[in-house]
Amino acid sequence: MTLRRLRNTPGYFFLIWRWGTWLYALIWIVALHPADTTLETVLLLITFLQSLAATLYAPLFALLLPRLPGRNVLRWPGRTQGRQRRIMRGKRRTQPLAGDEEENEDEETETTAPLSVTRNPYWNIAFYTLDVVICGLVVYFSGYWTYPPFGASSPFYRYGLSTALVAGFGYGYGGGLSAALGYDLFMLLGAYFPPPGAIHFTPLLSDLEGSLIDAPIVAILAAYLATLLNSYIRSKRLVQDDGRRQKALRRVGETLVAGARDREHLLRNSAEQIRKGGHFERLLIALVNGATEHGAVALSNPVEAGVVEAVGGDTGERLLAQVARCGEKLVAFESLAGEMGRQGYGIARLYLPCFSEGQLYLILGAESIRQTPFEAKQEEFLRIVGSQLVVALENLRLTERSAELAAAAERGRIAREIHDGVAQLIYMLSLNTETCLALAERLAATSEAEQELLSPLTERLDRLVTISKQALWETRHYMFTLKPLMSGSTTLTQMLTGQIHEFEAISGLPVDLIIEGDESAPNGDQQRARMMAQAGTAIFRITQEALTNAYKHADATQLQVTLRHLPHALEVEICDNGHGLQSDGTGSENGKGQDEQARELIAVAAGDEPRIYSGHGIRGMRERAEELGGTLELGQSSSGGLRVKACIPM
């Protein structure tokens, strides 16, 4: 409200001056020349209509008569602009932050011209010139009954000075002095070429001084006052902008702190607060997810707050991709079509990349319908909140990472306890069982009587050996599930090699490991290193689960693991020569488990989820792959067994 009143100060001065001097002329004519009515009435009527038109179409009265005919071709500063936009677009603009009711102050910071202006400078010159001509002619023709018959003696002389006043307020010293010079030309015309019927008079220099000096002095004083007002408005505006920016940044900071537990919630809430704080109509936030197959930057689906009705649906995503490619800010202003475009309105865009440790981290995009492009203060605001958002997201990531490290440390401790305790006992049990079986077989081989006598014992010992190996593998499986993966300089190839060697030692099943492609290094790219670690962990767990299923349920005698290092993905394929996707239906002791597995594998291969989780880990393998945007495929291998194929993008 304060800035609006200050900007309208020239309008107040102008209207008070023009109507006050018109009333002065009316009183002067009525009091001193009541008999002469024809010319006086015409001049009074002309000046009245001129004053009325200037008043009705002045920006000061735009709030009272927003739908006045012809007003749509004018440019209204301040609140009137926002009001006119709401009428044309049929919606209410977002109120700026901090309770400020002035809706477009960022586009209008100077004093408002007393007379309305258009977007065409030639029309503006014509309006102000017409005002000078009318005021000058009125003063010229009103001199026929005054003495001397020109200048300050005219009852409309002070009324005419308002033309220099309004030009000085609107166009500074140059415009004001030009209007004053034009007005003085009519004073000279009246002095040397008096109007018809005027009293003969020979002008002297002393008679011309007052009439010729007043208008330039008024113009200079008006321009000086406008300069002072503009300087004060700019300084006050800077203080208000700083206060609003601090309040907006505080709200954004509070949102970042409050939403630091959930990334999606954090992004959505911060997007809305940033939009409000920057007076934007639309705001987009896109995080960098790494690189695509062609080496370009991959962005997440943008989080959007607000809407700009004149913007196409894919424009924001296209501009985000453009900024991601070049890594530089984008500032654009696109004029609108139709009536709003003719008034100078357009879509202002500002897309700003935010970096962390030299790497592109996220992109902020702001859009609004306004009459000027975004300025440095909007860019500075986005840079500040972008840095805050990067810090908040990094803190969130570090918090999650700390929780993961703590959980990994605890899993490692439990894994060591299992390795040093239960696993050692089961291993000793397995060795002793195998020793007893070997001893019983040697005794049974001495004679047929011993073989017949020891046959039940050897069968049970053989089954006990199998059970002990399964128990040992289960224990080792749990131990490796708990053990932290991809730590230090260990590669995925090394981890799979160790896993397969241990599986062969325990299960007695041969496994062929085939490596295709070269395992690339992150080369200092922390984000790529995290993605490689996540993908490697998923591949390791899926391989582990597939080997366990083949050993426990498929009755396989040969397995093959193929690891492929693709340009932008990791792929693993585990094949066996066991039962595959079909049940044997033998009804043996293991038949029921095989039937259940076959039904589950067939359902998963068809894309259907099993109703009851059978414990074979098929759903777990699929979830591991899909969590990272990958896929899991089940099918029949070339040897007739099961083929498990997982692909994880990086």
244 located within any domain: no
Q: Which conformational region is residue 328 in: left (phi greater than 0), alpha (psi within -120 to 50 degrees), or beta?
A: beta
Dist. CA 15–CA 53, nearest whole Å: 11
In this predicted structure, what is the pLDDT of residue 636?
A: 87
Number of folded domains in the chain?
A: 3
Mean pLDDT within 424-435: 83
- Any domain includes 275: yes
Q: What is the mean pLDDT of residues 191-217?
A: 78
DSSP secondary structure letters along 408-454:
HHHHHHHHHHHHHTHHHHHHHHHHHHHHHHHHHHHHHTS-HHHHHHH
Give 533-546 pLDDT, tens digit per residue: 888 888 988 898 88
Residue 588 in this model has a pLDDT that exceeds 50: no
What is the model's pLDDT at position 607?
A: 45
Range 81-88 contact pairs with CB under 8 angstroms and sequence separation of 24 or more? 81/107, 81/108, 81/371, 85/340, 85/345, 85/369, 88/339, 88/340
532 with 639, same domain: the answer is: yes
Dihedral over Cα of 170, 173, 179, 183: its sign: positive
Q: How many residues does the chain have?
A: 650
Say what the pLDDT of residue 590 is: 38
Least confident of 248-252, 421-425, 625-629: 248-252
What's the token pair of residue 645?
């194929």
CA distance readout (Å), 156 to 19, 151, 211, 361, 453: 11, 9, 12, 69, 141
581 and 503 within one domain: yes
| Whether residue 525 is found in the same domain as residue 575 | yes
For the segment 585-596, the average pLDDT, to the nearest whole number, is: 40
Same domain, residue pair 123 and 188: yes
The residue segments making up the domain with residue 545 are 489-650
Query: If pLDDT is split at 50, 70 and 90, which confidence band does 511 have?
Result: very high
Alpha carbons 215 and 185: distance in angstroms, whole number:
11
Is 276 among the domain residues? yes
Q: Residue for token digits 């503006």?
A: 124
Q: Does 182 share its domain with 117?
A: yes
- Same domain flag for 120 and 204: yes
Residues 219 and 71 occupy one common structural domain: yes
- Report pTM: 0.52
Regarding whether 217 and 323 lie in a shared domain, the answer is no
Kindly report the CATH number assigned to the domain that includes residue 498. Answer: 3.30.565.10
- The residue among 174, 165, 169 whose CA lies nearest residue 227 is 169
Predicted confidence (pLDDT) at residue 407 exceeds the cutoff of 50: yes
Amino acid at 43: L
Mind listing the pLDDT tens digit for each residue in 37-78? 678 888 899 999 989 888 887 776 665 555 555 544 444 443
Strands 511-516 and 559-566: parallel
Residue 224 and residue 273 in one domain? no
pLDDT at 93: 39
Residues 237-268: b if buried by 16+ CB within 10 A, e if exposed? beebeeebbeebbebbbebbeebeeebeebbb
625, 646 in Cβ contact below 8 A? yes
The mean pLDDT value of the chain amounts to 78
Per residue in 141-152, pLDDT (tens digit) is: 887 767 777 778
The last residue of one of the domains, among 370, 393, 416, is: 393
Q: In the prediction, which pLDDT does 109 show?
A: 62
Mark whether 227 and 366 lie in a shared domain. Answer: no
Classify residue 134: in a domain, yes or no. yes
Last residue of a domain, one of 393, 412, 427: 393
**Residue 297: per-residue pLDDT:** 77
Asked if 583 contacts 611 with a C-beta cutoff of 8 angstroms, the reply is: no
Mean pLDDT lowest among 8-17, 210-219, 251-260, 399-408:
251-260
Residue 479 lies in a domain: no
Q: Annotate 105-149 with DSSP letters as a single string.
A: TTT--SPPPSS-B-S-HHHHHHHHHHHHHHHHHHHHHGGGGSSSS
Domain-embedded: residue 97: yes
Asked if the structure places residue 278 within a domain, the reply is yes
pLDDT of 16 > 50? The answer is yes
218-232, 285-299, 443-457, 581-595: range with lowest mean pLDDT: 581-595
Residue 554, in any domain of the structure: yes
Once rounded to an integer, what is the mean pLDDT over residues 364-371? 90
Terminal CA-CA length for the chain: 55
Whether residues 574 and 623 share a domain: the answer is yes
Residues 501 and 556 in one domain: yes
End residue of a domain, out of 238, 271, 295: 238
What is the rounded CA–CA span in Å between residue 297 and residue 428? Answer: 54
**pLDDT at site 455:** 85
Predicted local confidence at residue 261, as pLDDT: 64
